[in-house]
Structure 1
Amino acid sequence: MTYRTARGRAIGLASSIALIGALVIAGSASQAATPTTALPIQEHHFWDALELKPSPGDTWARLRDNLAWQERAHDERVQRWIEHYRANPHNVVEITERARPWMAWIIAQVEARGLPGEIALIPFVESSFDPKARSHRGAAGLWQFMPGTGDALGLRRQRGYDGRLDVVAATRAALDYIELQAEQWYEGDLELSLAAYNAGAGTVNRARHAAGSRGEPTDYWHLRLPNETMQYVPKLHAIAAIIAEPEAHGVELPDIEDTPAFAKIPVDRPLDLGQLASQAGVSRSELAALNPALSNGSAHPSTSEVVLVPAEYEEVVLARLNTPTTEPSPGGAEQHLVQRGDSLSSIASRYGISVAELRQHNGLNGDVIQEGETLEVPRRSLASR
């Protein structure tokens, strides 16, 4: 049985055609960084210490309720990958542990769209659930978007922000992309869309045309595709089969509550993660781990819709943000949001400092700045304005 999308897209025909064209030009959306089990074991993150106690409706139970492709577990290619993962159970455990802060939320997004639960496991195959993963081909993030594909899907890249590393934005883009391809080209066939996610729609469409010309079936399982793509969907089915029955496969999954480990804080003004951490009593390393897209440690409305914080800190963070304060910012600096027409010279003149000081304080090698970027102005000079 082939699972097909049942939800109509709200994207207009003209915009769909334009997006499809851009994605074809961009090429493959993702290429797995390396084989999943070859990824190095990463250091433990802050969420490893979270006291998340299992509940009757834990994350894995919810995921099992949404699995829809279990009949594929008997396919020969899937069986080979099941045996591979069974021989390396520590890798499965490490990767699922790394998924702790993201798993419940991603499952909820997949469930809300009526998609099979297996889709929530794509980051397992793509990035081993490392939100900062980068492949030698240029793909990045949990969902391993190539630059051109990310651009076509609205995942902006500019100084201090890479939308492909933004778990919230990239998850939305990945699910949109998978559904859009399935509905535009494959009559809702999600397995073909997943193959296109890995190899590019052009590769899959050419393989289908060739199969049809030979009088052969044109579903995923009968196509002649690049080896990585031939193994891509079986890998996904294999890990789903193991999660469906972990004990039978010798795997002990970490307990993860069926509630998101993070909360989304709207970005309606420039936010410095260090300042936010100091005001709310959150570790800066925690905020950095939850917001890997913010490489310069700050967020502003022109790039980021939300900043993620540990769920238990949501109320205190919102309270701090809504409380006026005249306290100086940590590090003795004031923030300046770059506006259209700004230059380093004009900003330095406005605050009564030198261009050299402004460059040094912000780690700039030249004079190029971008609208929407946040610069720090040394506070020691502010009194002289």
Structure 2
Amino acid sequence: MTYRTIRQRLMLSAGSTVIAGLLLAAAANSQASYSTTSAATPSPYAPRDMSSSAPTGQPMTPDSSLAAPTTPQPTSFQTSFWESLTLEPKDAWGILRDSFKWQDTPLPPDAQARVDEWIDFYSSSPTHLAEITERSSMWLAWIAQQVSSRQLPGEIALIPFVESSFDPAARSNRGAAGLWQFMPGTGDAMGLVRNGTYDGRLDVITSTQAALDYIELQAEQWYDGNLQLSLAAYNAGAGTVNRARHSAQAQGLAGDYWQLSLPNETMQYLPKLYAIAAIIDDPARYNVSLPEVHTEPAFAKVQLDHSVTLAQASALLEVSQASLAELNPGLLNGAIDPRNVQTLLVPEEVDSEVLAQLSQGESTLASSPSYASAANTAPSIPKTYRVARGDNLSAIAARYGVAVDDLMQWNGIERANALQTGQLLTLSAQ
């Protein structure tokens, strides 16, 4: 079965063949997986117990037609049901658990063994897993809503755990970036703008929509709606998965994910996802403490049709510039350019009237003394820059408004592709 909505069918059907071709070409570089876990020790695990005794109704009296009318009384089941709703209010974790669709389907023994290894791995370091869940708290409720709105399994909302440890600024040494670790070519194929001032792969809003589109599109295009095969292709590329599937089918196998022979990273991809979902499904069992996450997103969106720097927005909204930068990692130079993106994320507690003022034009904003003061303060360019994984000279030069040739001259670089992670670059001739 597929999970594509009617709206998505109409939107994607016309161009699916063209996009699929782009994706196959982009996937040749493969989707990189970004993981920061540590070594593990064994711990016991068993699938959660879903056994329950179904409530039985009240028996009819032998001659109910002759019995005196009585006031209906709630059964003990009805009473306990409503009490449980009162005593157990749901947070984002509870809603996410309810949306899991793969946890209660038994796996073949060898597949379950692969999952158990990763459960042992993650549960051996509950503090590390707690750090990742804490980092996820800013984005989890919103991502879970997007997954649910497409009727996808809730486990898909946990993919950023596997890909980036829920770090929107994560970059791999193969060039993947963002919460969903898009490779440059795949991001380009999915319409994620990428230039010197903005990188849509780092923008949580746009990259999440693109990632879910990508997963659904591949499931529809290649795998008859099989999302697990699509996730394997998300990691290794559709060509790699398709070849492994044909090989399995030639051996008389059904060709589902758990039967395929794939690159090691992809062989571990779904076991990791299953393991994280199992731990989140029952954190107390694995001595993991989950942070409180409300059911509503931890941020608000402001639609803008004019340029605004984070310094200006910080002054007007009276929130720290660091908080705005954390919510908007796609803004590489600390400013929103409506030619690239029109949505600024702000903390949820910001007053709605101030948000309305920010969304209005420059003429209205100019009347705000704090905004005007911030506007007159030019953003300072650092003297040096430490090269991060996935960086290249052209992107760094565009980010800080300098020429690539100048960067190479100032730093004695002979070949543009000779950058080393951790290298300190001088950003001026001084």
Q: Do Structure 1 and Structure 2 share a fold, with TM-score over 0.5?
A: yes
Matching residue of 2:244 = 207
Matching residue of 2:279 = 242
Aligned residues of 2:190 and 2:210 also touching (Cα < 8 A): yes
Q: Structure 1: which amino acid aligns with 2:402? A: N
More helix by share: 1
**Structure 2: tracts of 5 or more residues without a match:** 40-87, 380-398, 406-430
Shift of 1:34: 3.7
Matching residue of 2:209 = 172
Matched, 1:332 2:376: yes
Runs (4 or more) in structure 1 with deviation over 4 Å come to none
How far apart, in 2, do the equivalents of 1:195 and 1:363 lie? 37
Matching residue of 1:31 = 32
Matched, 1:71 2:104: yes
How far apart, in 1, do the equivalents of 2:124 and 2:98 lie? 26
How far apart, in 2, do the equivalents of 1:301 and 1:314 lie? 23
How far apart, in 1, do the equivalents of 2:281 and 2:375 lie? 50
Aligned residues of 2:35 and 2:165 also touching (Cα < 8 A): no
Relative to structure 1, the CA distance from residue 178 to residue 334 in structure 2 (aligned partners, 3 Å threshold; closer, same or farther) is same
Matching residue of 1:383 = none
Matching residue of 1:357 = none
Matching residue of 1:16 = 16
How far apart, in 1, do the equivalents of 2:352 and 2:375 lie? 25
Aligned residues of 2:4 and 2:150 also touching (Cα < 8 A): no
Aligned residues of 1:33 and 1:136 also touching (Cα < 8 A): no
Larger Rg: 2
Relative to structure 1, the CA distance from residue 318 to residue 292 in structure 2 (aligned partners, 3 Å threshold; closer, same or farther) is same
Aligned residues of 2:38 and 2:121 also touching (Cα < 8 A): no
Relative to structure 1, the CA distance from residue 279 to residue 11 in structure 2 (aligned partners, 3 Å threshold; closer, same or farther) is same
Relative to structure 1, the CA distance from residue 73 to residue 317 in structure 2 (aligned partners, 3 Å threshold; closer, same or farther) is farther
Which deviates the most, 68-77 or 129-138? 68-77
Aligned residues of 2:310 and 2:324 also touching (Cα < 8 A): yes
How far apart, in 1, do the equivalents of 2:190 and 2:351 lie? 29
Percent identity of equivalent pairs: 53
Relative to structure 1, the CA distance from residue 215 to residue 203 in structure 2 (aligned partners, 3 Å threshold; closer, same or farther) is same
Which deviates the most, 6-15 or 141-150? 6-15
Shift of 1:6: 5.5
**Structure 1: tracts of 5 or more residues without a match:** 39-54, 336-361, 369-385
Q: How many residues align?
A: 325
Aligned residues of 2:159 and 2:180 also touching (Cα < 8 A): yes
Aligned residues of 2:307 and 2:337 also touching (Cα < 8 A): yes
Q: Secondary structure of 1:264's match?
A: strand
How far apart, in 2, do the equivalents of 1:137 and 1:363 lie? 23
Q: CA RMSD in A?
A: 2.3
How far apart, in 2, do the equivalents of 1:106 and 1:218 lie? 30
Q: Secondary structure of 2:220's match?
A: helix
Aligned residues of 2:115 and 2:275 also touching (Cα < 8 A): yes
How far apart, in 1, do the equivalents of 2:308 and 2:375 lie? 14
Instruction: Please give the per-residue CA displacement for 1:30-89, whole angstroms capped at 9, x wherever unaligned.
Output: 211245448xxxxxxxxxxxxxxxx92211001011000013576111111111111111
In the superposition, the TM-score normalised over structure 2's length comes to: 0.71
In the TM superposition, 1:215-234 aligns within 5 A as: 215-234=252-271
Instruction: Please give the per-residue CA displacement for 1:306-341, whole angstroms capped at 9, x wherever unaligned.
Output: 010001115144233234434534262689xxxxxx
How far apart, in 2, do the equivalents of 1:140 and 1:4 lie? 28
Aligned residues of 1:5 and 1:182 also touching (Cα < 8 A): no
How far apart, in 1, do the equivalents of 2:325 and 2:365 lie? 24
Q: Structure 2: which amino acid aligns with 1:57? A: K
In the TM superposition, 1:1-385 aligns within 5 A as: 4-5=2-3, 7-8=5-6, 9-27=9-27, 30-37=31-38, 56-71=89-104, 75-313=112-350, 315-321=352-358, 322=360, 323-326=364-367, 327=369, 328-330=372-374, 332=376, 363-366=400-403
Aligned residues of 1:73 and 1:79 also touching (Cα < 8 A): no
How far apart, in 2, do the equivalents of 1:314 and 1:128 lie? 31
How far apart, in 2, do the equivalents of 1:104 and 1:279 lie? 27
